[in-house]
C-alpha cells in the first residue's frame, strides 16, 4: 500500500447548523476525523486517501456542497 495523503479542512458555519453538517461530513467516505472547535472555525475535518486527487474531489464536489457551510480553509499535509 502507498503512502497516505491527508488534508485538514477548517469549516466556518452558524452554530445551529453544526450537528447537521457533521452528520453529512460523516457520510463522506474518506473523512477520517471530525472535530468541533470553538472560535470562528467551528469544525475541523481530516480527510485521508492514498490519492491526493480523491481528497481534492471530495472537498470540491462533496464537502463544499454541504448546505450551511459558509467558508472553508484547506491545509494539505505533505509527506516527506
Q: Which domains are assigned to the chain?
A: 5-77 (3.30.70.920)
Report the predicted TM-score, pTM, of the whole model to 2 decimal places.
0.91
Cα separation of 2 and 73, whole Å? Answer: 26
Q: Do 9 and 47 meet the contact criterion of CB atoms below 8 Å apart? A: yes
Residue given cell 452528520 in the structure block: 23
pLDDT tier for residue 80 given thresholds of 50, 70 and 90: low
68: left (phi over 0), alpha (psi -120 to 50) or beta: left
Per residue in 10-46, pLDDT (tens digit) is 999 999 999 999 999 999 999 999 999 999 999 999 9
Amino acid at each position: 500500500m502507498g503512502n497516505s495523503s491527508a488534508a485538514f479542512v477548517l469549516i466556518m458555519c452558524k452554530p445551529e447548523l453544526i450537528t447537521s453538517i457533521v452528520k453529512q461530513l460523516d457520510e463522506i467516505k474518506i473523512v477520517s476525523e471530525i472535530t468541533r472547535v470553538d472560535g470562528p472555525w467551528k469544525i475541523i475535518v481530516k480527510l485521508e486517501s492514498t490519492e491526493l486527487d480523491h481528497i481534492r474531489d471530495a472537498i470540491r464536489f462533496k464537502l463544499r456542497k454541504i448546505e450551511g457551510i459558509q467558508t472553508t480553509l484547506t491545509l494539505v499535509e505533505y509527506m516527506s
